[in-house]
Structure 1
Amino acid sequence: MIETAAPRTRNRSGTAALVLGCISLLLSLIACGVAGLSVDSNDIDLLPVQSKPEVASAAQVEAVAHVTLPPGSVLLTAAYSNGLETQLSAKVRMPRTELDAFVAAANFTTALAPGLRAVDAKHNVGGGNLWDPETAKTISGLDEEQPTAEGTRRALLVNLDAPDAVTVYLYASRG
């Protein structure tokens, strides 16, 4: 006659080792999770949906902001960022005689308003110290309430302090 072996019973030392192993695994997983959360993520974009600001050319300023820079204008600084929202900031110096033509050609949905500070330090897309709209004393500005047909919203501050030239601070965003 063939005898079947009785099922093995688990001894206490085996059960204790299994419980301690599970507790150790659980504590290790918790420690890894805490370490992952505490890593400094200031320089790491875990979900990059916006590009880092980069220098913009005059052609990019014209294309994004739907403006035409007049002859004799000098692009002093411009920065562009793309992603979920397209953002552009530009600082342009132009002859005072070209300001009215610049505003008319851009088809802004509102007129320049004396004293309106529509652009400030928070509109500086690229950072840096060349963006200084707060230094202007005599100003005029406009802030479009309605975006253009392409969905671009624009704001403009004109520094009128110099007698023969104006400095235009332009901010455009879409998205």
Structure 2
Amino acid sequence: MIDAPAPAPSPRIRQSKAALVLASVSLVISLVSCGLAGFVASAADIDLLPVQSEPAEASASQVEAVAHVTLPPGTVFLAAAYSNGLETRLSAKFRIPRTGLDAFVAAGKFTAPLTPGLRAITAKHNVGGGNLWDPDTAVSVSGIEEQQPTTDGTYRSVLFNLDAPDAITVYLHASRG
């Protein structure tokens, strides 16, 4: 028995194979391009899917609204930064009269007690960067660090710098999300 020669592939099969090869090459080129773009973006510290706003300066009313506090009369607002997205983050530094401490704590309805010596705020709580955030320089401090959030899910931490005799420098951090 003599084997008959294999029939020549039809033009449709040849076109299908060519299309499959081109699609495979295209897929490989696309994957390499995406990988290269991701590498360049990560090397240049570019966020390809920004879900958090850049920190921006916050007003006293934003501090009160986000952190659920009331700034007492005589408050000197020093700095505040706010960022929103998947998380809401706020840091604020202000000075209140020493006589306003009890009213500030009571109006804030904190879920944790004011604790002498507690350093509830550190440099990592600084949302906006900058050189005005210096909680580590305080010698005599008290703090509040909530373990239970407010009704809208906001966690708050506060450091009171008690070094000055007539005023208290307050470092406040609030986050939600």
State the match for 1:70 in structure 2.
72
Tell me the CA shift for residue 27 of structure 1. 6.2
Tell me the CA shift for residue 152 of structure 1. 1.0
State the match for 1:118 in structure 2.
120
**Partner Cα distance (1:153, 1:24) in 2:** 52
Paired residues, number: 165
State the match for 1:85 in structure 2.
87
1:38 lines up with 2:39 in the alignment: yes
Relative distance call for 1:120 and 1:9 in structure 2 (3 A) is closer
**Partner Cα distance (1:116, 1:87) in 2:** 21
Instruction: Give the counterpart letter for 1:68 in structure 2.
Output: T
Relative distance call for 1:128 and 1:36 in structure 2 (3 A) is same
Relative distance call for 1:27 and 1:108 in structure 2 (3 A) is closer
State the match for 2:3 in structure 1.
none
Tell me the CA shift for residue 116 of structure 1. 0.3
State the match for 2:60 in structure 1.
58
Structure 1 unmatched ranges of 5 or more: 1-6
Tell me the CA shift for residue 32 of structure 1. 2.2
* SS at 2:91 equivalent: strand
**Partner Cα distance (1:24, 1:66) in 2:** 57
Tell me the CA shift for residue 43 of structure 1. 4.4
TM-score (norm 1): 0.83
Cα RMSD over matched residues?
2.6
Relative distance call for 1:24 and 1:171 in structure 2 (3 A) is closer
Identity score, percent: 65
Relative distance call for 1:37 and 1:142 in structure 2 (3 A) is same
**CA deviation digits over 1:120-150, x for unaligned, max 9?**
1111111111111001000000101111112
Tell me the CA shift for residue 28 of structure 1. 4.0
Structure 2 unmatched ranges of 5 or more: 1-6
Maintained 8 Å contact 2:64/2:70:
yes
